[in-house]
Structure 1
Amino acid sequence: MSEIVFILGAGASVPAGAPIMSDFLDRARDIWADPHRVVAEDVPHYQRVFNALQVLQAVHSKSNLDLVNIESVFTLLEMAELLQRMPGNFENPGDALSSLKKVIAATLSASVRFPVANRGIGQAAGYAGFVDMLQRIGEIDRGRHSISVVTFNYDLGLDFSLLGRGIQYGLGEEQRQGVPVFKLHGSLNWVSKEETGEVIPLMPDALMRTIDPLRWVGEETVPLNFYANLKTSAAEIGIAGVSSDPVIVPPTWKKGEHQRSLARVWQGAAMHLNEAQYIFVCGYSLPETDGFFKMLYALGTAGGQPLRTFHVLDPDPNVDQRFRALLGPGAQGRYRYQQGFFEDLPGTVLRYFGQ
């Protein structure tokens, strides 16, 4: 279990190029319009998603829904698939949901970039300082402090910044060394078995061995578009019989065929929260609609170790009040809010440990 738990949201990947949830669809539209950035096979999926958004504008006549935030749209399309109902004469809602997953994967893969270094890749912007901080205070530093990361992000900014250091996803994978990273809503490098739905992570180190680094000659930064060839990459690694789509799920109660595998991830996150004495939150705004994290935090921390600190770092001061409302009396006295960005997190954390 972990003494220190980091909770990261979309804001943590912004320095690496990822959009935040509220401007994700704007970024997707920009990529769709740029022939140098969009993959031809993805064009119909972008078209279907934006057609669906146009049709969904009809809901505004009787209800108020956020059609700008990508997670709200994700949840809405999942409900439309469940009900088999969309405004107008729109095609199968399940097709729109499938296309949205591909658009999310394509947009993140085109946006998050890594520096080219020594015929390989370096750490994504923002994550270099974060990983260095983990080394200084974590298990790599003679085991003084145990560390884990809970993240809502699908992208691979953190995963590939931990290359060579090891990563544990909590999915029951064989690897037992490295930083525990619980990706609550899935990841662009996770695939599922076609017959059973079991979720299997394609480990970053193994994926890198499927790439010819010579194609990066002359480039300063590169995207990692593994999502487009996941089935092929899995076969090269020695994993057969998997679907071609990455496992990414919306922040809702319905986890579909991946329920059992993802339950392991949530259970692992809860156990680590239970033992945490230091919790640092960055890039996650605790939206009012996210009741799932509130329940995960409440049940995960019940009866666990007493907190020494619960520190939230975010540029939006409104986030302060949301977290204050989340915490019970025993945690209120340990709560700290700091207005800042992900790049400010390492310095903030190191001060707690005298570094």
Structure 2
Amino acid sequence: MSLALTDLCRYPIVQAPMAGGASRPELAAAVADAGGLGFLAAGYRTAEGMYEETEQLRRMTRGPFGVNLFMPQPLLADTGAVEVYRHQLAGEAAWYETPLGEPDTAGDDGYEAKVAILLENPVPVVSFTFGCPTRETLDAFAAAGTLTLVTVTSAQEARDAERAGAGAVCVQGTEAGGHQSTHRDDPEGGLTGTGLLALLAEVREAVRLPVVAAGGLMRGSQITAVLAAGADAAQLGTAFLPCPESGAHPLHKQALTDPLFTTTALTRAFSGRPARGLVNRFVREHGAYAPAAYPQVHQVTSGLRRAAARTGDAQGMALWAGQGHRMARELPAGELVALLAAEMDAARAAMSVRSDR
């Protein structure tokens, strides 16, 4: 990557920020101590909660880490469509004996307050999801000594990030688990996306920024492949979900390799925004009807998801996972980083042997 991040990390391995509790300080610290870049996810956290986790992480490690922020979202949801979806979910509320959440008009996730805290208490890296900050914000982080990383899902989004002054881009292929980080959620665009290798090539031709590749990566050989294709580093999320340091629910961890869950799909069922997760009953029954309404749908289903987890029902949970989920390995995060690095070395050695023939 850029000189700044090359100096920070021993390995080009980035632990993805996974909002909702998986990316705990314990996970980020373990990855950082092992030579990768650990990440906290500030999404769905209060500004105060983000600050407390960041300070906890500082006490746990001297290694490199970043914090991810959700960009404010425009309030474009069709309130009528949200109410229709609420009506469809009435049976779920009765089954789990919990009320549906009330959608509100707050779509900024405390963004301005979080930016202010991170500028006053700088961290090595700050990344952004669901959009691109203003040049003023990106310049302020650069002046504070923070590397900025904007997640993109198209060459045009990468160009926008470069023009705004981003330090690097995270190229997210459609294989990635969790939310697709499109800068604008197009209700007419369908639940599709571009594969990582094709997108990586497009972005490499479009911008001159350092690039982090993300999407379905689970093995060191895959990291080596995307590095050979032009990436400067690789970001892995699902690979770190089963780690004991991860805050993911035990049912979520188990589901990654459970033969009951054979495939993933992009769905709006749980949040109103396209996100890739394991196909379970909730996705099958409601995915086709969920409107493009984030964060309103997320707010409506929040109680249902908590109730499903509380009662041990994985069929009602948001089981975010990338397409490579069945290759998940239940290892401590530090051991996983070391194994990925060893697999990278083996892949490079094999490539060298083939090139010598």
TM-score by length of 2: 0.29
TM-score by length of 1: 0.29
